[in-house]
Amino acid sequence: MTVSILELFSNDLALNGDTGNRRALAHRLELAGIEVEQRTYNQGDALGILPDIVVVGTGSSSAQRALAPEFAKIAEQLREWAKAGVVFLAAGAGFHLLGNSIKLDADTVIEGVGVFDVTVDATAARIVTEAFGIDGQFGLLIGTENHSAVTTLAQGVAPIGAVRNGFGNGGGLEGAVVGNAYGTHLHGPALVLNPVFADHLISLAVARTGDTYVKNEKHDELDQTIDLAREILIGKLPR
Amino acid sequence: MTTLSKPGGVKYVLPILAGRAARFATRLRGGGSALPGVVVQKLAPNVMRDVAAGLPHGVVFILGSNGKSTTTNIMTDVVRAHGLRVFTNPSGANMPQGIASALLKETSLTGRLDADIAILEIDEGYGVVIAEQLRPRAAVILNLLVDQIYRFGEPDRVATMFRNIAHAVDGYVALNRDDNFLAKLGTELEQGGKHRVEYFGSTPEALASAPHGQASARDYSEIEASANGAHPVAEVVSAAGNEAVIRFGGVDYPITMPSRGLHYAVDVAATLTLAAHTLGERFDVTVALKAVQAGKTVYGRGEIMTVGDREVEILMLKNLASLQLNLDSLTYEPDSVLFAYDESSYDPSWLYNADLSKIKHVDVISGPKGAFVATRLAYEGKTFDRIIPDVTEAVQAVLDGPRPASGRHTFFLDYDQMMATRKYLGYKDLEAGAAS
């Protein structure tokens, strides 16, 4: 079987190299001998058939504002996919646009897709954390955060983890998990620096396709290099 | 033009002496050059304004995400070739204290600067503050690229900075009509009626010939780009390697540039536009283009050095656009590559947006954050031989290795790594603008 990965708005929502999330998933799958189909969706494209994984990345607030109507056009389809168990990895602006609503300024609240039952207030002061660390089911997630949002989870929505260093959603938690959909403020990009997280999303995707994801020495070699990069940021966490 | 600058008078003697003492002390410690500027600013806050006001041709600002140092260097050469005495800031010294410090070095005790014009590269984050002090008469804005997201948050904030700086410029602004943000800023400035706005650009064919164009950041505003951009003062007709054709006054001029690429050619077009305005009737395009071609590259920006029996080419990688445009402009396949990344470059996420297809293999990865580059290459399935965090050790390791078939090592260096590398290789002209 082939695992298909769809990156939404790759021309607009890749401010922090977010294409790296798609590359990370594809590369790890391919190292395990699994065929991967990579697609992008941009303004004017056809959304195409059901993918196994949807990734969407970070962008400016003006991009959020401009893309909100574009997201509205595909909102119903995205919600259906999420309900059907398609794996989602949404970072930054992409995460917020897949929430319920974003307050952009005192007069502007834009509606989101509603995959994540969260509301976002993007009028907060900008937060930049070079070594953004999150503890949770994936061990220590590490990367960078750079946003100006307070994210409130609805009752019953689980976070990805607890913030060890940084701001996250605000209030000590980071991200949101709804079914197989994961939203986060982590970039670096997120999956590039966090193979445990990437492998978890891959395991959810191959459970859908019937593939078996078995890692080999090439993954070990890659992960040794990744560890060197992780160590740089881990070394910056407060002791 | 031999008019002497208007004297600032005796009130500056003490501050300037104090600044010189601070400069001397700083040099003894081997530290940075900003402190003297701080001292002078504290003692006589108006010294910058008065010194600048004494310049017959005033102050000219060079702004943009990338290409500031290069364009300042080209503009300085062009204006000097027309017989004017130019004061300029050392490449990279583009924040208030660095400029004050550089200005102080050349200013007499009575506040006189022995120059006809100041041509200054200006950091976008400090442009308004510096403009309020120096009251520039003209400015060029080269481009707005995705740059320093860690510092600026998003490109739109940089657009606001450029807009505010443009409003603080008294008279003339030259803009890149192919830049998504700047073409619209032109519309706004034209409607405001306070500025004379002119444009430079590249033909669609020239833009299409570069694999990633100019890597301009996206602008989502609904403002229309200025129609006047259709009539640029100077236009890049073609750019391939060091060869370019620049259209000026309806005539196509073929030139050989000191450095490669569309981005360098655009910097030349920007310079011709600004220089033609600044020099007025004195401007002679043949004199200008002769100066452009005789110029040297700014150190570390496409600079080629000879070390023993090999060449070393240094290319900067300060952001996605600089890395990508430098890669795109390569006319050879690099067969010996060193790649080094700075500690002070936060958040290397952007590396994943770069198209690295021109690099097949990296010999040595270096710098405090070199592991991020190694990770990027690993995901691409590209190989590298070694990670050596200390850049001088890394450079030596490359030079100790076999001479590459091409005879040339290609170094992609972040700013601090570039400075350290040049110093290590015995190039100690770090306070001068151009390489020598």
Higher pLDDT, A239 or A7: A7
When the pLDDT of each residue in chain B is averaged and rounded to a whole number, the result is 89
Q: What value does the mean pLDDT take over residues B65-86?
A: 96
Enclosing H/E stretch for B303: strand B303-307
pLDDT at B103: 83
Domain segments of chain A as ranges: 2-234
pLDDT at A221: 96
**Is the domain defined by B10-294 classed in CATH 3.90.1150.10?**
no
The answer to whether residue B436 scores a pLDDT higher than 90 is: no
> Distance from CA of residue B195 to its chain's centroid?
24
pLDDT at B431: 43
- Enter the ipTM: 0.96
pLDDT digits (tens, 9 = 90+) for B251-302: 999 999 999 999 999 999 999 999 999 999 999 999 999 999 999 888 878 8
Q: What value does the mean pLDDT take over residues B167-194?
A: 96
The shortest CB-CB distance from A60 to any of B155, B346, B379 is to B155
In a mutational test of the B interface, the residue from A185, A232, A233 whose CB has the highest number of chain B CBs within 10 Å is: A232
Residue A185 forms contact with B (CB below 8 Å): no
Distance CA A120, CA A151 (A): 5
pLDDT tier at B139, thresholds 50, 70, 90: very high
Which residues are registered as beta bridge partners of B240? B243
pLDDT at A96: 98
pLDDT tier at B429, thresholds 50, 70, 90: low
| CATH T-level fold of A2-234 | Rossmann fold (3.40.50)
Q: What single DSSP character describes residue A54? A: E
Distances (CA, A) of B172 to B99, B117, B175, B196, B291: 22, 15, 10, 5, 23
Side-chain half-sphere CA neighbours of B436 within 13 A: 8
Residue B155 forms contact with A (CB below 8 Å): yes
Of the candidates B136, B70, B138, the residue with the CA atom closest to the CA atom of residue B279: B138
Distance CA A148, CA B269 (A): 38
Exposure string over B155-176, b if 16+ CB within 10 A, otherwise e: bbbbbebbbebbbbbeebbbbb
pLDDT digits (tens, 9 = 90+) for B342-388: 998 899 999 999 999 999 999 999 999 999 999 999 999 999 999 99
Q: What single DSSP character describes residue B143? A: -
Within 215-234 of B, beta carbons closer than 8 Å to A belong to: 218-221
Q: What value does the mean pLDDT take over residues A208-228?
A: 97
pLDDT digits (tens, 9 = 90+) for A4-47: 999 999 999 999 999 999 999 999 999 999 999 999 999 999 99
> Under an 8 A CB cutoff, do B375 and A228 touch?
yes
Q: What value does the mean pLDDT take over residues B67-78?
A: 96
Q: What value does the mean pLDDT take over residues B415-432?
A: 81
| Residue A164 counted as an annotated binding residue | no
Of the candidates B373, B363, B337, B421, the residue with the CA atom closest to the CA atom of residue A232: B373
Domain segments of chain B as ranges: 10-294, 303-424
Backbone angles phi, psi at B68, to 5 degrees: -60, -50
Q: What value does the mean pLDDT take over residues A105-124?
A: 96
In a mutational test of the A interface, the residue from B152, B379, B380, B384 whose CB has the highest number of chain A CBs within 10 Å is: B379
Residue A179 forms contact with B (CB below 8 Å): no
Residues in chain A: 239
Q: What value does the mean pLDDT take over residues A70-78?
A: 97
The answer to whether residue B110 scores a pLDDT higher than 80 is: no
Whether the CB-CB separation of A232 and B365 falls below 8 Å is answered with no
> Under an 8 A CB cutoff, do A226 and B378 touch?
yes
pLDDT digits (tens, 9 = 90+) for A130-142: 999 999 999 999 9
The shortest CB-CB distance from A188 to any of B349, B371, B381 is to B349
Higher pLDDT, B109 or A13: A13
pLDDT digits (tens, 9 = 90+) for B31-59: 445 666 666 666 566 778 888 899 999 99
pLDDT digits (tens, 9 = 90+) for A169-182: 999 999 999 999 99
| CATH T-level fold of B303-424 | Protein-Tyrosine Phosphatase; Chain A (3.90.190)
Residue linked to tokens 């780009």: B225
pLDDT at A167: 98
Q: What value does the mean pLDDT take over residues B170-189?
A: 96
Distance CA B423, CA B425 (A): 5
Residues of A in contact with B146 (CB under 8 A): 15
Backbone angles phi, psi at B7, to 5 degrees: -70, 140
